[in-house]
Structure 1
Amino acid sequence: MAIYTKTGDKGTTSLFTGERVKKYDIRVETYGSFDECNAQISVAEKFCQREKNKELLKWVQYRMFILDGEIASSDPDKFYGKSDRITEADVHRMEGVIDEYTNKLPELHSFILPGTSLAGAHLHLARTVCRRAERLLIHVNEEEPFRAEVLRYANRLSDFLYIVARDEDEYARTQGICNEVLKRYQEALANK
């Protein structure tokens, strides 16, 4: 089966509900930006050192499919009958991680560079794509309102990506210190 359909050759695409719109339609731009964010999260996940973060990011990626589906539906009732939906539980799960990581990470008193580890840098890039997608979502929401859970999820996602990036950076920092201590210890033993 071919992956191309040729239905978009004239500059239109189909929403989840079957309605055809221009490929530059703000709704298409919005779910396309969240799709870009999801792809960036996938890249970041490959560089994560902590297994818990890998699992959290995979969970978020699957929820992003639901988010995109909901955004791509001009008639939410048709979508809800065929798919799961973003829920308050999804928002609470991210908030739980944000709170847990905020409590365990060193307190910040200034802005930080976006990522001192590869995972952290990629997560910060995903965060900025998420913020752009959220701005587009708000724009669409002014004309065709989304459920409050969708807006909260999009807003919380960038905070979630930020805190996971900080956790990966902190983990890389402490691993670097441990490796340096071990290296110096081994050098001291070799020089005896």
Structure 2
Amino acid sequence: MRLLVLFLFLLNVVSAQRIQAFNVFENDGSVVLKFSVKPGPTCFGFSVLHSTDSLIYVEVGSDPAICGVSTLVEDKNYVHLKPSLNTVNYYKVRLEPSIETSAVRKIFVDYNDGTLKMSAYPNPFYLEDVVSLKLFGVNNVQLKGFLYNYYGDPVKAIEVSPVQNRAAISTSELVNGAYLVWLTNGLKTFTCKIIILR
């Protein structure tokens, strides 16, 4: 019985998830990946895998440093300087040599040449009942406005308070078609087009 308990304990320790708190953040057109590695069997660094379709991943960077040997959780980070712009980017981290691969994290990275004030993603929209908005130059300010249909008729009142320049609006009651999002804080006006395809 003791042998069985010891075997199950060792199996759990060896097979336990070692990549923890993996997340991605946008920073001025680049993507910062942050995660932690729990102590365990030695790994020989990590590789960063990137995709724009969530199916085919390519390695975009690596760190060959030995990891997992201490008794402390090790914090790691990597900066992807050239993500694909104006699209959703997908990332995974792999401990080498192919010890473990993290869950997928996604982030929309858009290019702002100074004229763009707001963008919506994904666009065309077809996945869920919430559209994400990215607003440039506004944070923690209440914005009010409307969602207009293709004919310029207001179909929905909108009120959002962006956090980290991001907000979301519900689209569950909308039918397929093109819409215009119009928001203002009284000083600035933000507009963008969205297309619903379900």
TM-score class normalised by the smaller sequence: under 0.3
Q: Which protein has the bigger strand share?
A: 2
Alignment TM-score, normalising by the size of structure 1: 0.21
Alignment TM-score, normalising by the size of structure 2: 0.20
Structure index of larger Rg: 2
Name which structure has the greater RCO, CA cutoff 8 Å, separation 6+: 1
Q: Which protein has the bigger helix share?
A: 1
